[in-house]
């Protein structure tokens, strides 16, 4: 491993320059979800048609119980996400808008 690489073998950004990394004006959480290009509609997800994940199933079960609803268990990841968003609003567990 060279002096210009970190422990993972990735070259250091400021290796050899002696300068401190530049401060960035970029911050996380500063934009509204609609402004975030990483936020996609669940219907556009590449894996959206895969079966619901175990964590989604558990959280959706909790939300559905609190909301007094039943939801079919054989849904996709995208469908689960849509139900989660809807039930978060209904139960007051969602992010405040």
Distance CA 63, CA 44 (A): 24
Q: Specify whether the CB–CB gap between 76 and 51 falls below 8 A.
A: yes
Which is more confident, 54 or 6?
Answer: 54
pLDDT bracket for residue 24 (50, 70, 90): low
Query: What is the pTM assigned to this prediction?
Result: 0.56
Which is more confident, 50 or 3?
Answer: 50
pLDDT bracket for residue 11 (50, 70, 90): low
Residue among 36, 75, 31, 34 at smallest CA distance from 53: 75
């Amino acid at each position: 491993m060279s002096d210009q690489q970190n422990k993972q073998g990735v070259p250091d950004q400021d290796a050899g320059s002696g300068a401190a990394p530049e401060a960035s004006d970029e911050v996380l959480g500063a934009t509204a979800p609609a402004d975030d290009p990483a936020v996609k509609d669940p219907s556009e997800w590449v894996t959206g048609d895969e079966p619901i994940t175990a964590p989604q199933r558990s959280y959706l079960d909790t939300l559905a119980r609190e909301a007094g609803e039943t939801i079919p268990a054989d849904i996709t990841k995208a469908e689960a996400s849509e139900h989660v968003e809807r039930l978060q609003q209904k139960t007051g567990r969602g992010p405040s808008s």
